[in-house]
Amino acid sequence: MADFDFNVIWSSLPFLWQGLQLSLWLTFLSIIGGIVLGTLLALARLSGILPLSLVAATYVNLIRSVPLILVIFWFYFLVPLVLGRPIGSFYSALIAFVLFEAAYYSEIMRAGIQSVKRGQIHAGQSTGLNYWQIQRYVVLPQAFRNMIPILVTQGIILFQDTSLVFVVSLRDFMTASSIVARTEGRLVEMYLFAAVVYFVICFSGSMLVRSLKSRMST
């Protein structure tokens, strides 16, 4: 217990900050990509066109039954093979995260789209809007509004998930902390510090979700 050295955190702060920036950037891009692809998957699933909904459902269920680490390994291996050249760990990780999180976002969006009352769609049809116009102007705006708290919650989970890029040594906050921990021989201090940083960010996020929820229910 006696000889802890928390100065190691102070001196390696710039390095850790770079890692944190990478984590946040990866989270941000994956949320955007995941929501876009997830919405398309949800629309495909609810489209009523059998082959399309079957493909989307298979994709979502397949992704949801494998661990994220395995998906990260898959794309580290697959992306350079398909493209014929290496594109760097960041982009491989980004592709893995977008494709993985899209499956989870599509389930959220599906529930959101289904929560829009059928009367809204009928009203759109009777005003002469076509399918895409109804989705664009009537269904999706309401679905998004209903889903904002859950989308943010999923964003927090995604931020925690980005720590898994550790397995392919991409230098995010987790990997950076681990590098400092090992080179300085300060495992206890660094991992506790990492836990505190993640906690502060994720806890603030869940407070935000709570206030969003209470504001929406009034």
Partner 1 sequence: MNYNWNWAVLFEEQYLSWLISGFGWTVSVALSAWCIALVIGALVGVGKTVPNRVIRAVSATYVEIFRNVPLLVQMFIWYFAVPELLPDDWGRWMKRDMPNPEFVTAVIALALYTASRIAEQVRAGIETVPPGLTSAATAHGLSVSQTYRYVLLPISFRMIVPPLTSEFLTVFKNSSLALTIGLLELTAQSQQIAEYTFQGFEAFTAATVIYVCIALVATGLMQLLEKYTRIPGYVGTEG
Is residue 206 close enough to count as binding partner 1 by CB under 8 A?
A: yes
Q: Which of 120, 203, 211, 215 binds partner 1 (CB under 8 A)?
A: 203
- The size of the interface with partner 1 (CB under 8 A), counted in residues, is 37
Torsion angle of the four alpha carbons 170, 173, 175, 176, in this order, in degrees rounded to the nearest 10: 110
Q: Are 103 and 38 in contact (CB under 8 A)?
A: yes
Is residue 1 close enough to count as binding partner 1 by CB under 8 A?
A: yes
Q: Which of 55, 167, 179, 212 binds partner 1 (CB under 8 A)?
A: 167
CA distances from 27 to 13, 33, 91, 212 (A): 21, 10, 13, 20
Is residue 54 close enough to count as binding partner 1 by CB under 8 A?
A: no
Is residue 91 close enough to count as binding partner 1 by CB under 8 A?
A: no
Q: Which of 14, 65, 128, 132 binds partner 1 (CB under 8 A)?
A: 65
Q: Are 33 and 94 in contact (CB under 8 A)?
A: yes
Near partner 1 by CB under 8 A, which window of 13-21, 27-35, 39-47, 76-84? 76-84
Is residue 44 close enough to count as binding partner 1 by CB under 8 A?
A: no
Q: What distance in Å separates the CA atoms of residue 111 and residue 96, rounded to the nearest whole number? A: 24
Q: Are 99 and 158 in contact (CB under 8 A)?
A: no
Q: Which residues of 186-208 are buried (b: 16+ CB within 10 A; e: fewer)?
A: beebbeebbeebbeebeeebeee
Nearer residue to partner 1 within complex by CB, 131 or 199: 199
Is residue 163 close enough to count as binding partner 1 by CB under 8 A?
A: yes
Near partner 1 by CB under 8 A, which window of 28-36, 89-97, 134-142, 188-196? 188-196
In angstroms, what is the minimal distance from the CB of 33 to partner 1?
20
Is residue 101 close enough to count as binding partner 1 by CB under 8 A?
A: no
CA distances from 175 to 20, 83, 90, 113, 164 (A): 10, 27, 13, 38, 9
Which residues contribute to the site for partner 1 (CB under 8 A)?
Answer: 1, 62, 64-70, 73-74, 77-78, 81-82, 84, 156, 160-161, 163-164, 166-167, 174, 178, 181, 187-188, 191-192, 194-195, 198-199, 202-203, 206
